[in-house]
Chains A and B, each alone.
Chain A
Amino acid sequence: MSDKRKELIVSAISNGTVIDHIPTETVFQVIKILGLDKTKNQVYFGTNLESKKFGSKGIIKISGKYFEHEEINKIALVAPSATLIEIRDYEVSKKSTVHIPEKVDKIVKCFNPNCITNKEDVSTRFDVFYDDNNNLKLACHYCEKNTSKENIVFI
C-alpha cells in the first residue's frame, strides 16, 4: 500500500482519535475498556490488518472524541504498543504512544475475592511490576496479592 493511501485510512475521520497498532486479539477488549460499545460517537474498527512491526494489528477510529490520560492508561494494560493519533480538521494534530503506568488506580478489579476492595466501597490501587518471566502483574495495595494480566477485569 502506498504511503498516501495509508495516510488516507488514518485521516478518514475529520475530528477524533485513531488508536493504531493495537494487538489484533485485544481490539474488542479495548473497545469494551473505553466503553465504545455504548458510545453515541461513530466508531470504526479493523482487525487482522497488515503491520510491518507486528505482522498483524488492529485499529480503532472514534469520531468526535479525545481521551483523557486516565482512560489511556486503561488501554496500555492490554495494548501497550498502541499509538494514539488525534485528528483535527482531517490533519494529524498529535501523535503519542501509550505508557504502562507504574500505578493503576480505580480502574481494575482485584482478582482476590476476599480483598477489602471486593467487599466494601474501597477504590482499588495497584503497583505494576513484571515477574521473572517478564509477565505484567498488578500488586494490590490492600490485600498484597497479585493479579496477572490474563485475570485483569476493568471496573
Chain B
Amino acid sequence: MKNRSLVSINDYSKEEIIRILDLAEEFEKQPRQEILKGRVVASLFFEPSTRTRLSFESAAQQLGASVIGFSSAATTSVQKGETLKDTILTVSNYSDLIVMRHPVDGSARYASEVAPVPIINAGDGANQHPTQCLLDLYSIRKTQGTLDNLDITFVGDLKYGRTVHSLTMALCHFNTRFHLVSPVELKLPSAVKRHIKDAQLHYEQYTDMSEVIPKSDILYMTRIQRERFPDPLEYERVKNSYNLVNAMLVDGKSNLKILHPLPRVNEISTDVDSNPMAYYFQQALNGIYVRQALMASILGFK
C-alpha cells in the first residue's frame, strides 16, 4: 500500500483492509510512536469538518509528523478561483502525503490522478469517506471479535448515507447478513444492492426496526434529514419510527453493539448512552488508530 492513494474503500482488497485493521490494533496499544518524524502531512479541508480533521491531525502528530494545511477554503487561494489541480500540485511540493476533504463528488479521485504524492480521501461530497468505513470495520471487529458471518442492521437514511454505502460494500467481503431498515423513500440504492447480490449474500428490507433488534449483532444507526423528504408530512409521519430508545434494547443479544457515524440528533435517545451496548463514542476514538495505520502504511513505515 506504500505510496498508494486511498480514495474509495473499493480500492483495497479484503487482505489490505485486514492489514490496516491489524496495524490499527498495534497503534491502539501504543498510539505515540515517533515513526513519522520529519514527515509532513498536508491536511486540506476545502469544507469544514472539525471532527474528521482533528482526528487526522492528532493521529499524524502522535506519530511525530508535522501537519500543514487549512480548515476551510474561505481563507485560501481557492477562494480566488484557483483550480483544484493547481492547489494539489502546489501543496505536493511541501508535503509527503495529502489528506483532503472536498465538497465536490469525485474530487479526491481526480486529485489522486494529478498529485505526485499519495492522497487520503477524508470525504468527497456525497461520494466516499473510506476512513470512516475503516473505523466502522475496526469497531465491529473489536466488539464482536470477528468480521465474519455477522447480522448487521442498518437503520435510517440508507439512500443518501454514504457511510452506509461504503460499509455495505466492504462487508460484502465478510459473509454478512444485511438487515436494512428504512422508510420506503430512503431504501438502499440498487447500485449498492448490486454489490450484495454480486457477492451472493442475503439482505432483508424492513420498515420497522423492533422485530430485527433481537437478531442483530450490530445496529448501525443513521440520521434521517427532513430535507430528504419531498413531502414534509411524510417526514413527520416516519421520523419517530427510526429513533432508538433504551427500552427497545431489552431483547437485544448480549453481544449487540450500537454504532453511529456521529453527529447524532435524536435518532438515539440519550437514555441509551449509559447502556453497555452503546459504542458510538468509542467508535469515534478508533478513528485515530485506523488513520495512524493508514498514514504509516502509505508512507512505508509499517
Contacts and interface: CB of A to CB of B under 8 A. Distances in A.
Interface of A: 112, 114-117, 119-122, 131-132, 140-146
Interface of B: 8, 83-85, 103-107, 109-110, 125-128, 190-191, 194
A132 B194 CA distance: 8
Given A132-B194, A144-B105, 14 more contacts: A114-B105, A114-B125, A115-B106, A116-B104, A116-B105, A116-B107, A119-B104, A120-B84, A122-B110, A131-B190, A131-B194, A142-B105, A143-B106, A144-B128
A116 B112 CA distance: 13
A64 B268 CA distance: 70
A137 to B, nearest CB: 8
Contact of B84 (A116, A141, A145): A116
A142 B83 contact: no
Contacts of A140: 106
B263 to A, nearest CB: 22
Contacts of B127: 143-145
A121 B83 contact: yes
A120 B128 CA distance: 19
8 contacts: A116-B84, A116-B109, A120-B110, A142-B109, A142-B110, A143-B105, A143-B127, A144-B127
B103 to A, nearest CB: 8
Interface of B is mostly: mixed
Contacts of B103: 114
Contacts of B110: 116, 120, 122, 142
A143 B83 contact: no
Contact of A114 (B85, B104, B109, B128): B104
Given A114-B104, A116-B104, A116-B106, A144 B83 contact: no
Contact of B109 (A119, A132, A141, A145): A141
A115 B105 contact: yes
Given A116-B84, A120-B84, A122-B110, A132 B105 contact: no
B8 A132 contact: no
Nearest to A117: B106
Nearest to A131: B190
Contact of B106 (A121, A131, A144): A144
Nearest 4 Cβ contacts at the A-B interface: A142-B106, A143-B105, A143-B106, A116-B106
A112 B105 contact: yes
Nearest to A113: B105
A148 B126 CA distance: 19
A146 B191 contact: yes
B295 to A, nearest CB: 24
Contacts of B109: 116, 141-142
